[in-house]
């Protein structure tokens, strides 16, 4: 993909079926931002794997002075998974499925880490700094390290306990 952005990504994704007709399943993999402390779920940290059951566009609606009101849309029309994928995701969400996926993912990561020229590793805990949502970055042209940011940081329980193991989060995740 030559350029960044939602429109360009959607254009590339929509043309894949015609270009590669024998592909039955495409997985979108990339870097994303996440709500680090979602209500009722485990903490999300740098290096975790996020599996979304469907797409929910969070920034489609009207911005008012005090709130954002999303458009009332049928989320099933955006990206409803096929029955085969929905069944697979349901299996992954069970205790046994999640344990199997965790075990296999750890094994794959260990295998990749043995390849010396690949330099695959789990991200260090130090760079995963989370500032309070109200904090405004001093200088948007500089990194936090270069700008000597000193805002209120949100404590990260998984990072305090040593080197965390990647976690897998399955559910509805928004994009925008």
Which residue would you say has higher pLDDT here, 8 or 176? 8
User: Is there a domain that residue 62 lies in?
Assistant: yes
Distance CA 72, CA 114 (A): 49
Q: 50 forms bridges with which residues in the sheet?
A: 169
**What confidence score (pLDDT) does residue 79 get?**
57
Q: Is residue 18 part of a domain?
A: no
Pairing of strands 168-175, 49-57: parallel
**Within a domain: residue 127?**
yes
Q: Considering the domain boundaries, does residue 15 fall inside one?
A: no
The reported pTM is 0.68
- Whether 149 maps to a domain, the answer reads yes
Select the more confidently predicted residue: 44 or 102. 102
- Asked, for residue 23, whether it belongs to a domain, the answer is no
pLDDT tens-place string over residues 115-151: 888 877 766 656 677 777 777 877 778 877 777 777 7
Q: Does 14 map to a domain?
A: no
Dihedral of alpha carbons 1, 55, 33, 41, sign: negative
73 vs 25, residue with greater confidence:
25
**Taking all residues of the chain, what is their mean pLDDT, rounded to a whole number?**
77
- In this prediction, residue 43 carries a pLDDT of 81
**Domain annotation covers residue 27:** no
**Domains: count for the chain:** 1
Q: Which domain holds residue 96?
A: 36-175
29 pLDDT above the threshold of 80: no
For 63-96, what is each residue's pLDDT tens digit?
788 777 777 655 444 557 788 888 989 999 999 9
Closest CA to 59 of 76, 73, 49: 73
């Amino acid at each position: 993909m030559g350029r960044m952005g939602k429109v360009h990504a959607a254009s590339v994704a929509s043309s894949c079926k015609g270009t590669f007709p024998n592909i039955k399943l495409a997985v979108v993999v990339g870097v994303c931002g996440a709500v680090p402390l979602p209500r009722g779920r485990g903490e999300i940290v740098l290096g975790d794997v996020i599996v979304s059951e469907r797409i929910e566009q969070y920034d489609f609606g009207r911005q008012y002075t005090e709130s954002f009101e999303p458009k009332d849309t049928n989320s099933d029309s955006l990206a409803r998974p096929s029955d085969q994928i929905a069944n697979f995701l349901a299996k992954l969400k069970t205790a046994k499925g999640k344990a199997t996926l965790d075990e296999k993912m750890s094994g794959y990561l260990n295998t990749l880490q043995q390849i010396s020229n690949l330099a695959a590793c789990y991200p260090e805990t130090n760079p995963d700094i989370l500032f309070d949502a109200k904090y405004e970055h001093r200088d948007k042209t500089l990194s936090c390290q270069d700008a000597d940011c000193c805002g209120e940081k949100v404590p990260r329980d998984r990072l305090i306990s040593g080197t965390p193991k990647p976690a897998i989060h399955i559910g509805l995740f928004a994009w925008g």
